[in-house]
Amino acid sequence: MRIIRGKYGRRRFDVPSNITARPTTDFARENIFNVLENIIDFEGCEALDLFAGTGAISFELLSRGCSHVTCVEKCSTQYNFIKKVKDILHDENLIMVKGDVFRFLETSSRKYDLIFADPPYDLPDFAEVPERILSSRMLKDGTIVVVEHSGKYDFSDLPHFYEHRAYGSVNFSIFRVGCNDADGE
């Protein structure tokens, strides 16, 4: 796993071979972060990484200046890897939650500036993920929600849809809460 930019930029961490997560490719992660830099100021941002996997998104967010990142991961192998990297970086701004994302969405009321979700593509309830995030109590005016998905999904009819980006086989749907159209008006 490589952190692309920011204070931890170019740091690499060997991902254990027994991790079952499908990490976002460096190419796709770099490109979506380039898009996000034009939408949101990471400095001081409070972010949430759902289905954290290897933690690559969480560490990229911290590296770019987020003041607080919460990551949610239920698999022990992935959770332990994220903890190991957190300990190496000595970054106390990462709050780790070991548990089910759907339960977290139902119970958490903390509001975030940015929510990133990268569910397993074979998750049985995958199509419900964006709607469950968008109907959660974690949104405030201006929250950006990014959902990574395969090309078989189209979330453009959901409320707050802003844009779709594709990088190879990796797709991202971006939502902007409180914005009526793509110009943010």
Is 123 inside a domain boundary? yes
Is 182 inside a domain boundary? no
84-112 pLDDT, tens per residue?
999 999 999 999 999 999 999 999 999 99
Give me the phi and psi of 101, to 5 degrees please: -60, -40
Mean pLDDT for the stretch of residues 123-147: 95
CA 43 to chain centre: 16
Q: How many domains does the chain have?
A: 1
Instruction: Judge whether residue 28 has pLDDT over 50.
Output: yes
Would you mind telling me the total number of residues written for the chain in this entry?
Answer: 185
Is 131 inside a domain boundary? yes
Instruction: Judge whether residue 183 has pLDDT over 80.
Output: no
Which helix (H) or strand (E) element contains residue 97?
strand 94-98
Question: Domain of 128?
Answer: 26-176
Mean pLDDT for the stretch of residues 52-70: 96
Look up the CATH number of the domain holding residue 41: 3.40.50.150
Half-sphere exposure of 77 (CA within 13 A, CB side): 7
Is 14 inside a domain boundary? no
Is 12 inside a domain boundary? no
Is 133 inside a domain boundary? yes
The first and second tokens of residue 140, run together, are 């405030």
Q: How far apart are CA 22 and CA 99, in angstroms?
A: 18
